[in-house]
Amino acid sequence: MSQPAYRQGRRAPITRAPCLWLTLGLALLLTGCSSTVPLDETALPVPSAKPLSADVPSPDNTAYDPKRNDLALFALSLLDTRYTWGGRGPATGFDCSGLVSHVYREAAGLPVKGSSADLGQKSRPVDRSRIQPGDLVFFNTLGARHSHVGIYVGGGRFVHASNPKTGVRIDQMNNRYYAQRFEGAGTLLD
């Protein structure tokens, strides 16, 4: 009696039926993952159990806007990208203003350039209680006005290129460090 192919050190032939079912199952799984839906801000993980302060908008007080949704989703897709001072792309890394420039160019087709302070001057001010996904949030982290910028993604959270240790990350607006350094919000959208 002959031994099976795998016992003889040879590859066993793969039948087409299991491969077909595996391929079909994988295709169905990936199709389900590829659908685009509006950003459900309540589905994103909240790192802190603390309630949001009253002056941070909830997802309920903003209408769905595809451009804002695209900005927020694209910013979220860049989480964990490395930080590079002066960096302007995912291959080289980002600093805070480079992240904003890249997200606005790629997700909204808007050519946005400049430092975080420049972005603060170019943006139209937005009251803290009216911040919407895609708006910019500014902080004084270096003892200078608008020395840091991030992109608000909803639910009291913003994405930013923080520092070389953490890279692009998401933080709460009511995080003690950022809440104490918050200087204002602005929009570059119509």
Is residue 185 within 8 A of residue 136, CB to CB? The reply is: yes
3-state class (DSSP) for residue 142: coil
CB 154 within 8 A of CB 52: no
Q: What CA–CA distance (Å, rounded) separates 148 from 139?
A: 5
Distance between CA atoms of 172 and 103, rounded to whole angstroms? 19
CA distance 132 to 75: 14
Residues marked as catalytic:
96, 148, 160
**Do residues 166 and 116 lie in contact, with contact meaning Cβ atoms separated by under 8 Å?**
no
Single-letter amino acid, residue 2: S
Instruction: Give the single-character DSSP code of 131.
Output: -
